[in-house]
Amino acid sequence: MGKVGFMTIIQKHLTQELLKYFCIVLVTVVGIYVAVDFFGKIDDFLEAKLSISRALAFFGLRVPFIVAQIMPVGLLLGVLIVFGLMVNNNEIVALKSSGVSIFHLFKSVLVVGLIFSGLLFFFSEVLVPITIGRANKIWYSEVKKESAVTSREKNIWIKGNHSISHITYFKPSDETIFGITLSYFDQDFVLTKRIDAQEGVYTGGGWDLFNVVEQELVKDDRGYKITYRKKSRVNLEFVPEDLKMVAKKCEEMNYSELSAYIQGVEKEGYDATAYRVDLNAKIAFPFVCVIMAIVGSSLAFWRKKKEGLAGNIFCGLGMAFLYWTLYSFCLSLGYGGILPPVIAAWLTNVIFACVGTLLLLNTN
């Protein structure tokens, strides 16, 4: 058998083993996640008097979103398990003695990482926006019965007690509302008061409105008294959490939809920095599979046999936790305008790719 054929057999074996352990990890973690989610929310479905089939539909629709979140960790653990077992069985030493370098072993892992990145992008672009949107609709409309709060595009309407509130744009990152119109009616549905404000901020359990124009009905002459205020404190029947329920979420939109949404927001003069960060993250995040393949391989080759497979898995979970902590921190800096959206979305990938590559290049 030639060296090329020998290498092909090794790479095929590595790929099969990696996919096997990845599937085991994925099924296990997703099963635990769904079970915890099920027991945490099933009481809400029972209180809403929904059928078990409707509840199962909700949890089933959430599975693609969960898989997309777990896939990178599953790949990382799969790589660590495969190479950890090879180290324990002295297979790495035997292959190196036969002239096989670790870079030839790494090729298979890198190819799998690239394929998984494409698969993760497909999940995030095609499946997740559809399924998570339908799941959220079941949760908010049928379970929580938030029918008094509705939205379309950027606009949000809230029906209160003899009042209707309209918000042109809600910015979830700092819980700020823009283009507010509050209309109050009497028993005969006659407009008694209208408040228009340019901006509103939720602080201390209430809303502070800025650049306010208030029109109040004068019953004697059926006219309206107009008052202008720079700032006005009002108590509204909704809080930011109510708005977050119905505001268009980034995971419910694919790349083109989110891009069009951002253009609409910015065209009306509102700040869409947070959405631009999420837009760049839609491209950056799928590459985490490649990053995890690099990091997992470098960790497996660096760690010693005596440290055992459990040590590999523990170290891998620590690296995954560190990645997500840094990734979330960078996104937060992007949401706050401290980092440009592109850098906020890609910085963690660049850092971990550099660290993993350096470790891999210096592996004996």
> What tens digit of pLDDT does each residue of 103-116 get?
777 788 888 899 99
The dihedral region occupied by 200, where left means phi > 0, alpha psi between -120 and 50, and beta the remainder, is beta
The mean of the pLDDT values for the chain is 83
Beta carbons within 10 angstroms of residue 79's beta carbon: 29
What is the number of domains present in the chain?
Answer: 2
- In-domain check, residue 257: no
Mean pLDDT across 349-363: 86
Q: Which residue has the higher pLDDT, 104 or 28?
A: 28
Asked if the model's pLDDT at residue 1 lies above 70, the reply is no
Q: pLDDT tens, 39-84?
A: 888 888 888 888 888 888 999 999 998 999 899 989 998 888 888 8
The verdict on residue 314 lying in a domain is yes
Q: What is the pLDDT of residue 151?
A: 60
Residue 281 has pLDDT above 60, yes or no: yes
Confidence class of residue 303 from pLDDT cuts 50, 70 and 90?
low
Q: What is the DSSP letter of 239?
A: -
| pLDDT beyond 80 at 25 | yes
39 within 8 A of 55, measured Cβ to Cβ: no
- Provide the whole-model pTM: 0.77
Q: Please indicate, yes or no, whether residues 215 and 342 belong to a single structural domain of this protein.
A: no
Same domain, 133 and 178: no
Asked if residue 268 is part of any domain, the answer here is no
pLDDT exceeding 70 applies to what percent of the chain? 91
Residue 252 included in any domain: no
pLDDT at 167: 87
Classify residue 150: in a domain, yes or no.
no
> Do 11 and 116 sit in the same domain of this protein?
yes
Look at residue 222 in the predicted model and tell me its pLDDT. Answer: 67
One domain for residues 123 and 222: no
Asked if 184 and 71 sit in the same domain, the reply is no
Query: Could you tell me if residue 333 is inside a domain?
Result: yes
Range of the domain at 68: 3-144+274-361
Q: Terminus-to-terminus CA distance in the chain, angstroms? A: 27
